[in-house]
A and B are shown apart, each in its own frame.
Chain A
Amino acid sequence: MKDLCLHALDVAKGKGATYADARIVRLRNQYIMTEDERVSGIQDSDSIGIGVRVIADGAWGFAASAILDKGEVERVASQAVEIARASALAKAPDGLKWAEEPVHEGVFKTPVKKDPFTVPLEAKINLLMAANKEILNVAGVKKAHSHMRFIGEHRYLANTEGSMIESETTTSTATIQATAVSDETAKSRYFEAHPMNIGYEHIEATPLVAEATRVGEEAVAQLTGKPCPVGKKDLVLHPSHLALTMHESIGHATELDRVLGMEESLAGSSFATIDFLGNLKYGAPIMNIVCDNAMPFGLASRGWDDDCVEGQRWNVIKDGILVDYQTGREVCHAIDAKRSRGSCRADSWASIPIVRQSNIGLEPGKEDLTLDELIADTKDGIYIEGMGSFSIDQKRQNFQFGGDCFWEIKDGKKGAILKDVTYQAITTEFWGSLDAICDKRFWTPHGVLNCGKGDPMQVARMSHGSAPARFRQINVGGATK
């Protein structure tokens, strides 16, 4: 594989490329789905190919093929150069600015104790079936769904600067879901072994069966839950919920390619423009947002990104102020950064690397604070777990989120389950209302596997960790006005 990558680079250089990288990736996916007492589907897929990215005549070209022989690799490398020459018809007058990066050679592997692809299917099916059985035993539950998903990515990446890296990442997750049905409506509730780069030991350590009854009961309770109040409430948000709020309102807004307008026509841009760098009050002074592509078990942790830049840890928001962005080598010059932050990834061998969210999360509070204590300190609020409805404008300002399960907080006590809760805010006003974060004992790395961006659309995964946090006086219930 390394030889094929190097051969592609030689061909590209010979055709006139001034920079080239070649990436061979094998991507494995195993997806086991169940419904009630049946296995509704098992998808086991394997995809391999090469993508060659070049700069020629000062412009980009990229070509990819599933055929891995020398002749095809030569064709693909030549085609990438031809495409770059077409791109040069509308290129930047002062050329591409490609940030420097030391040459890297090395191997990265997700620390895996138990390879999920070697665990027998029967064991996985039995575990999901056991959880479904518990869910279906709950009166009022009419449907149990559960699934496991494993992703294995083996990458060889070489560039004309001399970098040659290899990475093997393994992602594991499992979810159980109950749906309760009444004469009026239906409500669902889920619980997951949240997605991480880790082995099957993560699935075994997550109490999927033990939590199944609670999950079913909370689905049923939502059928008759009190409706969402309308007005302002304090929100206590669990990490399983806050992950998506951070993803949408911070993660995307601080991708530098979006900020520069490179995603304008599809995913959109960002209100957090460069003129705000160093002075935008993104949130309260206790808000510290850290990106960490070297984080153990992080979904975006892979040693080096697809620009061959080493994984790093840095603040994009410090003490509530916007201080940096998530960058790739092509765009970091825009903020006068000498080095990329290493946030450029492609979702397969067939896709071109684009700026992607890192493992990005909220730092825990510095003072000891438990979730129980945070709720006890809240007079009139709502506690939210899990991800639900989510929508945000293309500059990442006006958002509306739901969740998976909601509880009333009255006079410091977690009370009755609510249903259909939504909250609405403007990003900076929302984060400005953050007034308490639980301490590091309660920090957990949730994340997403299906972040869509790019054109053609690419789907990426990244972790979003936090501890439970409280936001004061947020508008709730506006969806039903």
Chain B
Amino acid sequence: MNESEAKLILDKVLGSADADAVVVGLGGGTEASTRFADNLITQNVYQNNVSLRVSCAYGESHGSAVTNDLGDESLKNVVQRAQEIAKVSPPDPEYMPPVEAAETAKYPEVKSYCESTLGYDPMSKAKDIAAAAKTVAAKNLRLSGAYGTDYGFSAVANSDGLRAYHRSTGAEIHATVLSPTGSGWAEKMSNDSADIEVEKVVGEALRIGENSQDPQDSEAGKYTVILRPAALAEMLMFMFWGGFDAKATDEGRTFLRGKLGTKVCGDNVTLRSDPSEKRCPGNPFQGDGMVSPALNWLKDGVVENLAYSRYWAKKQGKKPTGMPSNIIMDGGGKSVDELVAGTDRGILVTRFWYIRFVDPMVPLVTGMTRDGLFMIEGGKVTKPIRHMRFNEKLLDVLGRITELGEPERTGEYISMLVPTVKIRDFNFTSTTKF
């Protein structure tokens, strides 16, 4: 849906509401995903959907309703439902009026829309995947994974006159190559499908898969580790799920309580957000129309900002930030090979799996390694080893980073740019059977 089509619907909804304040969000698009396993295409799907959210307020009583039916009758119904909910809701002391129209002047320019991604159709995708599967099958190995492309738009309008629209495309492939006793994994994501070379990604998974065959016994304990970006990114998400919410932090319910302005990890750790970052662009605005944050969360190991809602910022006399639309960790200049060469004894981790909080107040997290775990001895990768579970204190881990490599785009839940890192004394607590 283009900007003028979205505006027509948003204006229609705004015009039919009689609440004191109204905010309307409209988002949607198309998603096409081709999934493969055992060198075959096993699933090939396409969907086209929209979501219209109407939020209404009478005084401080508010409510919202959502529909995906943009027919006239449905639009009337969704407004009516939102208004009915608002009317029976008790006044909310944390209610905030709509974002002012002038907020749009703060939006950064974000280029994340590529026509070439839209033109990459299921047949082209299937041809690329079939060719890669043939390469893997020729080695008697098994390729699985998925290649998804999408087009999305988001638009916001409110009764204060704010109007916002943004569109983007995305392409993401991840591939696993299975050998009889091991597996390898690789991924690539971009807004432009032209950036993605299927053979190259599958080739990397194949290399790791072949090298991971016949893993040797591993032994739990503390090791120097080299975490590839996907592994570190998965851990970093737990910083944001658990820590940076300002209200919860100020109320003593997160691990960053009392830590604003203090050093919590190493000098070499800077975590920031910037929706205009070309290597992992985010959305320029948030669901209510507020600009997405461009700021440091951690700067040289010091907690520089927390995530303030508009209400909590007003109460605490701070500037509202909202939640990040992307996460960037600054890196160094070393390649993975250079990091390995400088390691006398350690473990190379391709990625993690199933990380969860054990105690979010520490924060202590646990998880497993997956798809390629290798011993490093004398500056060289010497052998694959069986996978292990870790239990680690997240801030301590970020305090034990000794070297940083080049950042790469990754992120399962949010667009991220994260380097490969070397960490000392990483705590593996048990082994598994493969």
- Interface residues in B244-272 (C-beta closer than 8 Å to A): 251-253
Q: How far is the CB of A477 from chain B (nearest CB, A)?
A: 10
Which size bracket describes the interface of B in this complex?
A: 35 or more
Task: Knowing A45-B66, A46-B68, A63-B45, say if A398 contacts B368 (CB, 8 Å).
Answer: yes
Q: How far is the CA of A87 from the CA of B129 in the complex (A)?
A: 10
Q: How far is the CA of A478 from the CA of B388 in the complex (A)?
A: 13
Residues of A contacting B36 with CB < 8 Å? 90
Check if A11 is an interface residue, CB within 8 A of chain B: no
Interface contact A91-B429, CB-CB below 8 Å: no
Task: Knowing A89-B127, A90-B129, A400-B366, say if A60 contacts B148 (CB, 8 Å).
Answer: no
Q: How far is the CA of A92 from the CA of B130 in the complex (A)?
A: 12
Interface contact B46-A79, CB-CB below 8 Å: yes
Q: How far is the CB of B310 from chain A (nearest CB, A)?
A: 14
Name the one of A91, A143, A181 contacting B40, with C-beta atoms under 8 angstroms: A91
Check if B283 is an interface residue, CB within 8 A of chain A: no
Residues of A contacting B24 with CB < 8 Å? none
Segment at the interface with B among A36-44, A131-139, A289-297, A316-324: A36-44
Q: How far is the CB of A56 from chain B (nearest CB, A)?
A: 11
Interface contact B431-A398, CB-CB below 8 Å: yes
Interface contact B434-A64, CB-CB below 8 Å: no
Name the one of B92, B123, B366 contacting A391, with C-beta atoms under 8 angstroms: B366
Interface contact B40-A38, CB-CB below 8 Å: no
Task: Knowing A46-B69, A62-B43, A261-B38, say if A395 contacts B130 (CB, 8 Å).
Answer: no
Name the one of B45, B48, B432 contacting A456, with C-beta atoms under 8 angstroms: B45
Name the one of B49, B50, B121, B434 contacting A395, with C-beta atoms under 8 angstroms: B434
Interface contact A390-B89, CB-CB below 8 Å: no
Name the one of A42, A62, A82, A479 contacting B429, with C-beta atoms under 8 angstroms: A479
Q: How far is the CB of B226 from chain A (nearest CB, A)?
A: 21
Task: Knowing A86-B122, A264-B144, A426-B432, say if A42 contacts B41 (CB, 8 Å).
Answer: no
For the residues of B in contact with A, the DSSP-based class is strand
Task: Knowing A39-B90, A66-B50, say if A82 contacts B63 (CB, 8 Å).
Answer: no
Residues of B contacting A463 with CB < 8 Å? none
Residues of A contacting B31 with CB < 8 Å? 456
Specify the chain A residue showing the minimal Cβ separation from B371: A394
Q: How far is the CA of A390 from the CA of B358 in the complex (A)?
A: 8
Residues of B contacting A395 with CB < 8 Å? 432-434
Residues of B contacting A45 with CB < 8 Å? 51, 65-67
Interface contact A44-B429, CB-CB below 8 Å: no
Task: Knowing A122-B88, A265-B176, say if A455 contacts B146 (CB, 8 Å).
Answer: yes
Q: How far is the CB of A124 from chain B (nearest CB, A)?
A: 10
Name the one of B78, B94, B126, B391 contacting A478, with C-beta atoms under 8 angstroms: B391
Proximity string of chain A (447-481) to chain B, C-beta cutoff 8 Å, 1 when within and 0 when not: 00000000110000000000000000000001111
- Interface residues in B149-178 (C-beta closer than 8 Å to A): 174-176, 178
Residues of B contacting A354 with CB < 8 Å? 43
Q: How far is the CA of A179 from the CA of B85 in the complex (A)?
A: 28
Interface contact B45-A83, CB-CB below 8 Å: yes
Name the one of A59, A60, A397 contacting B432, with C-beta atoms under 8 angstroms: A397
Q: How far is the CB of B292 from chain A (nearest CB, A)?
A: 21
Residues of A contacting B48 with CB < 8 Å? 64-67
Task: Knowing A39-B90, A62-B43, say if A478 contacts B429 (CB, 8 Å).
Answer: yes
Interface contact A63-B90, CB-CB below 8 Å: no
Residues of A contacting B68 with CB < 8 Å? 46-49, 66
Check if B96 is an interface residue, CB within 8 A of chain A: no
Residues of A contacting B175 with CB < 8 Å? 265
- Interface residues in A413-452 (C-beta closer than 8 Å to B): 420, 422, 424, 426
- Interface residues in A247-272 (C-beta closer than 8 Å to B): 260-266, 268, 271
Q: How far is the CA of A151 from the CA of B197 in the complex (A)?
A: 42
Check if A120 is an interface residue, CB within 8 A of chain B: yes
Q: How far is the CA of A235 from the CA of B89 in the complex (A)?
A: 44
Name the one of A263, A264, A402 contacting B178, with C-beta atoms under 8 angstroms: A264
Q: How many residues of A contact B (CB 8 A)?
A: 78
Residues of B contacting A48 with CB < 8 Å? 68-69
Interface contact A265-B356, CB-CB below 8 Å: no
Residues of B contacting A112 with CB < 8 Å? none
Q: How far is the CA of A290 from the CA of B315 in the complex (A)?
A: 53
For the residues of A in contact with B, the DSSP-based class is mixed
Residues of A contacting B90 with CB < 8 Å? 38-39, 125
Residues of B contacting A265 with CB < 8 Å? 35, 37, 144-146, 174-176, 185
Name which of A41, A90, A479 has the most chain B CB atoms within 10 A of its CB.
A90
Check if B44 is an interface residue, CB within 8 A of chain A: yes
Check if B361 is an interface residue, CB within 8 A of chain A: yes
Interface contact B356-A390, CB-CB below 8 Å: yes
Interface contact B64-A90, CB-CB below 8 Å: no
Residues of A contacting B183 with CB < 8 Å? 264
Residues of A contacting B357 with CB < 8 Å? 389
Q: How far is the CB of A25 from chain B (nearest CB, A)?
A: 11
Residues of B contacting A402 with CB < 8 Å? 358
Check if B387 is an interface residue, CB within 8 A of chain A: yes
Q: How far is the CA of A400 from the CA of B37 in the complex (A)?
A: 28
Specify the chain A residue showing the minimal Cβ separation from B69: A48
Proximity string of chain B (420-434) to chain A, C-beta cutoff 8 Å, 1 when within and 0 when not: 000000000111111
Proximity string of chain A (381-400) to chain B, C-beta cutoff 8 Å, 1 when within and 0 when not: 00000000111111101101
Check if B389 is an interface residue, CB within 8 A of chain A: yes
Q: How far is the CA of A142 from the CA of B47 in the complex (A)?
A: 44
Residues of B contacting A80 with CB < 8 Å? 46
Check if A186 is an interface residue, CB within 8 A of chain B: yes
Specify the chain A residue showing the minimal Cβ separation from B361: A185
Residues of B contacting A181 with CB < 8 Å? 251-253
Task: Knowing A389-B358, A479-B391, say if A42 contacts B85 (CB, 8 Å).
Answer: yes
Name the one of B127, B142, B251, B358 contacting A261, with C-beta atoms under 8 angstroms: B142
Q: How far is the CB of A178 from chain B (nearest CB, A)?
A: 12
Check if A164 is an interface residue, CB within 8 A of chain B: no
Specify the chain A residue showing the minimal Cβ separation from B359: A420
Q: How far is the CB of B211 from chain A (nearest CB, A)?
A: 18
Q: Which residues of A contact B (CB under 8 A)?
A: 38-49, 51, 59-67, 79-80, 82-87, 89-92, 120-122, 125, 142-143, 179, 181, 185-186, 260-266, 268, 271, 350-352, 354, 389-395, 397-398, 400, 402, 420, 422, 424, 426, 455-456, 478-481
**Interface pairs (27), CB distance under 8 Å:** A48-B68, A60-B42, A60-B43, A65-B49, A66-B49, A66-B69, A84-B44, A86-B122, A86-B126, A89-B41, A90-B40, A90-B133, A120-B88, A142-B251, A143-B251, A186-B252, A264-B178, A265-B175, A350-B49, A352-B43, A354-B43, A391-B367, A395-B432, A397-B432, A398-B368, A478-B429, A481-B391
Known pairs A67-B48, A394-B353; list 10 more (Cβ under 8 Å): A62-B45, A63-B47, A89-B127, A90-B126, A261-B37, A391-B354, A393-B387, A398-B433, A455-B33, A479-B358
